[in-house]
Amino acid sequence: MPPPRHVLGISAYYHDAAAALLRDGRIIAAAQEERFTRIKNDPDFPRQAIEFCLRYGGLNAGELDCVVFYDKPVLKFTRLLETYLAVAPGGWRTFPEVVSNWLGGKLDLRKTIREELPGLRAECPILFTAHHQAHAASAFYPSPFTEAAILTIDAVGEWATTTIGRGRGDTIELLKELRFPHSLGMLYSAFTDYCGFRINSGEYKLMGLAPYGEPLHTEAILRELLDLKADGSFWMNLDYFNFLRGTTMTNGRFHRLFGGPPRRPEEAIEQRHMDVARSIQAVTEEVVLRLARHARELTGEKDLCLAGGVALNCVANGRLLRDRVFDRIWIQPAASDAGGALGAAFAAWHAEQHESSLLRAKADEMQGALLGPEYSDEEIEATLRSHGARFQRLSTTGLLDATVDLLRAGKVIGWFQGRMEFGPRALGNRSILGDARSPRMQSIMNLKVKFRESFRPFAPIVRRERAAEYFDLTGESPYMLLVAPILPEWRLPVPAGLKGLELLKQARSTLPAVTHVDYSARIQTVARQDNPLLYELLWRFERATQCGVLVNTSFNVRGEPIVCTPEDAYRCFVHTEMDYLMLGNFVLDRAEQPARPAGRRVAPQTD
């Protein structure tokens, strides 16, 4: 049988639903449902994301040759059932709710998908991949490698929580797996929850908090919570956790071990939380390192592909790179379940290849993760006119020059260009930009634009060929998924004796807005072929200032998804104190805009 021409991948019902469309094995479009519904991490069936993918591909549902869902609902249901039975009677408390949820749609997904896509041909197959098979496929097939080891680490799919595999050409072999409830993702989420951050989105904050603390509890974690083996496999001591019962993550025994009850989100962050964050981060890095070393031994491969939610832990990724466990590392930018949609589609397409089509040199197929919707000048102008906005339209050169001048003047710029990013990071098309040299930029962006008081610095963007002049980074980091230290020549001395959040106000380098308290930075390197406009902006800024680094943060306010449409961008602009908005070639100056509509101003809160 010839491989299916058009394959639609879908992920849904856990968190961050998404859709992805392939044509002849190439990615045409991919997007998360949250961007359209404006509900952060929206888990619902991704109706609008599918509609976008089909529209962008210029086809209707009747032209699809295959639809693939990113996990096996029956297996997942069996896992839930067995888990609940194992912990009965406690588990029965939430059992009826879970059963009705599954019986009410998730188990009969073929029917649901046909109902949602009524145009689908009767002969169009609806397939299911295993959850970690989808993660592994999302890590390997779009990577620049024709052969590689694959490591997937997340909370849980059906049963697997971690897998080691090998990709070669069109084939992925999963060689080993760790099974629920022994899960690095769940362990990290339990600590995220304990420190008062939201599970599935607050993990990034816990990682950002870690450098303020001391690893005082590392030994206790390894002694009490985790039996960690040399090959990175582990058993978790479930006496400290509650997640099998589905009500809370941790229990009283856990709280006693770490010196108190869980922090509520509105409570102040204490040194204790920072020490806990640092300790679990250190343990996570150790587990990831051991798993990676074992993957190398097992596969003999030189390169590594990573996916699964834990692959978003860019501090652990940076450590993996610096310890040179593998020669090269490629991380799927949509590493968590949104990327499962893409992986599922790839898995189905490659399953039908009869010759190894991939055993030839290839490039990163993610197209800079710029796989979402884009808007024409006419659409942007129509939106602006409908709001009575005041704007100017510039040539591309005029836009770049104006942006460089405004950045140099310390202005905060909304930068909305081209196709939206797929995955959790804004990579320069739905971004807010600023001058990384400004000592005040971090607090201006946090308080006037993002409406938060963050202990985390912003991410730097730098042209790929200039990155090594600022950061101790080997290779590239196109998806902002690697943390590396800023080089000593840019560092500033810090007075001794400062602890915890006292460190926050202290400039650490001549690029203070992007330097963390441990001198680390979460880097995005920009290649000309991935994003020519952003590359050109960085180059012009460097020519004007001798500094090749800018601040890049996502274009949204706290608690909202990244903006998708010109309408979203305009609304975000007028409701914040961003100075300028560059919407395609249109420039909006805050000072010239009509009075702001009432409401929506959010009080600043700590991260």
In the complex, least distance from residue 41 CB atom to Fe ion, rounded to whole angstroms: 13
Ranked by CB distance to Fe ion, the top (closest) residue is: 154
In the complex, least distance from residue 407 CB atom to Fe ion, rounded to whole angstroms: 38
The piece of 154-162, 205-213, 243-251, 258-266 that touches Fe ion (CB under 5 A) is: 154-162
In the complex, least distance from residue 135 CB atom to Fe ion, rounded to whole angstroms: 6
The piece of 97-105, 169-177, 336-344, 543-551 that touches Fe ion (CB under 5 A) is: 336-344
In the complex, least distance from residue 157 CB atom to Fe ion, rounded to whole angstroms: 5
Determine contact, residues 21/56, Cβ cutoff 8 Å. yes
Q: How many helices (H) and strands (E) does the chain have?
A: 19, 23
In the complex, least distance from residue 342 CB atom to Fe ion, rounded to whole angstroms: 13
In the complex, least distance from residue 161 CB atom to Fe ion, rounded to whole angstroms: 9
Q: For residue 373, say if its preceding peptide bond is cis, omega within 30 degrees of 0.
A: no
Which residue in the set 33, 42, 71, 154 belongs to the binding site for Fe ion (CB under 5 A)?
Answer: 154
Q: Which is nearer to Fe ion, 306 or 588 (CB)?
A: 306
In the complex, least distance from residue 14 CB atom to Fe ion, rounded to whole angstroms: 7
The region that residue 169 occupies, defined by phi over 0 for left and psi between -120 and 50 for alpha, beta otherwise, is left
Q: Which is nearer to Fe ion, 25 or 309 (CB)?
A: 309
Which distant-in-sequence residues (6+ apart) come within 8 Å of 355 by Cβ? none
The piece of 149-157, 186-194, 213-221, 264-272 that touches Fe ion (CB under 5 A) is: 149-157
Told to check if 337 binds Fe ion by CB under 5 A, we report yes
Determine contact, residues 203/308, Cβ cutoff 8 Å. no
Residue 330 burial class via C-beta count within 10 angstroms: exposed 0-12, middle 13-18, buried 19 and up: buried
Q: Which is nearer to Fe ion, 154 or 301 (CB)?
A: 154
318 alpha-carbon distance from chain centroid: 15
Residue with tokens 């188990």: 107
Distance separating alpha carbons of residues 34 and 28, to the nearest angstrom: 19
In the complex, least distance from residue 372 CB atom to Fe ion, rounded to whole angstroms: 21
Q: Which two tokens stand for residue 299?
A: 């596969």
Angle formed by the axes of helices 314-322 and 271-299, nearest 10°: 50
DSSP secondary structure, 157-170, as one string: SSSEEEEEEEEETT
In the complex, least distance from residue 308 CB atom to Fe ion, rounded to whole angstroms: 5
The piece of 226-234, 335-343, 352-360, 435-443 that touches Fe ion (CB under 5 A) is: 335-343
Determine contact, residues 602/451, Cβ cutoff 8 Å. yes
Distance separating alpha carbons of residues 125 and 147, to the nearest angstrom: 29
In the complex, least distance from residue 311 CB atom to Fe ion, rounded to whole angstroms: 10
In the complex, least distance from residue 7 CB atom to Fe ion, rounded to whole angstroms: 20
> How much of the chain is in helix, strand and coil states, percent to nearest 5?
40, 20, 40
How many chain residues interact with Fe ion (CB under 5 A)?
2
Going by the DSSP 8-state scheme, the letter that residue 59 receives in this structure is: -
Told to check if 158 binds Fe ion by CB under 5 A, we report no
Q: Which is nearer to Fe ion, 185 or 512 (CB)?
A: 185
In the complex, least distance from residue 143 CB atom to Fe ion, rounded to whole angstroms: 18
Kindly write out the interface string for residues 402-441 of this chain, putting x where it contacts Fe ion by CB under 5 A and - elsewhere.
----------------------------------------
Q: Which is nearer to Fe ion, 56 or 159 (CB)?
A: 159
Q: What backbone phi and psi angles, to 5 degrees, belong to 249? A: -85, -40
Pairing of strands 459-463, 549-554: antiparallel
Q: Which is nearer to Fe ion, 152 or 509 (CB)?
A: 152
In the complex, least distance from residue 485 CB atom to Fe ion, rounded to whole angstroms: 30
Q: Which is nearer to Fe ion, 183 or 552 (CB)?
A: 183
Q: Which is nearer to Fe ion, 155 or 413 (CB)?
A: 155
The piece of 152-160, 208-216, 382-390, 580-588 that touches Fe ion (CB under 5 A) is: 152-160
The piece of 236-244, 333-341, 444-452, 467-475 that touches Fe ion (CB under 5 A) is: 333-341
CA dihedral 538, 539, 545, 546 (to 10 degrees): 110
In the complex, least distance from residue 156 CB atom to Fe ion, rounded to whole angstroms: 7
Pairing of strands 303-307, 147-153: parallel
Q: Which is nearer to Fe ion, 18 or 538 (CB)?
A: 18
Least Cα distance to 14 among 410, 336, 295, 293 occurs for 336
The piece of 334-342, 392-400, 424-432, 536-544 that touches Fe ion (CB under 5 A) is: 334-342
Which distant-in-sequence residues (6+ apart) come within 8 Å of 246 by Cβ? 84, 91, 93, 94, 98
Length of the chain: 607
Q: Could you give the angle at the alpha carbon of 518 between the alpha carbons of 302 and 275, nearest 5°?
A: 100
Which H or E run includes 185? helix 184-194
The piece of 189-197, 337-345, 390-398, 526-534 that touches Fe ion (CB under 5 A) is: 337-345
Q: Which is nearer to Fe ion, 76 or 263 (CB)?
A: 76
Q: Which is nearer to Fe ion, 344 or 400 (CB)?
A: 344
Q: Which is nearer to Fe ion, 311 or 413 (CB)?
A: 311
Q: Which is nearer to Fe ion, 203 or 337 (CB)?
A: 337
Going by the DSSP 8-state scheme, the letter that residue 223 receives in this structure is: I
The piece of 146-154, 261-269, 430-438, 531-539 that touches Fe ion (CB under 5 A) is: 146-154
The piece of 27-35, 329-337, 468-476, 490-498 that touches Fe ion (CB under 5 A) is: 329-337
Determine contact, residues 290/232, Cβ cutoff 8 Å. yes
The piece of 148-156, 198-206, 414-422, 541-549 that touches Fe ion (CB under 5 A) is: 148-156
Q: Which is nearer to Fe ion, 113 or 312 (CB)?
A: 312
Distance separating alpha carbons of residues 444 and 464, to the nearest angstrom: 27
**Cβ atoms < 10 Å from Cβ of 356:** 13
In the complex, least distance from residue 337 CB atom to Fe ion, rounded to whole angstroms: 5
CA atoms within 13 A on the CB side of 393: 7
Q: Which is nearer to Fe ion, 154 or 193 (CB)?
A: 154
Residue 322 burial class via C-beta count within 10 angstroms: exposed 0-12, middle 13-18, buried 19 and up: middle
CA dihedral 231, 232, 233, 237 (to 10 degrees): 130
Under the rule (CB under 5 A), what is the footprint of Fe ion? 154, 337
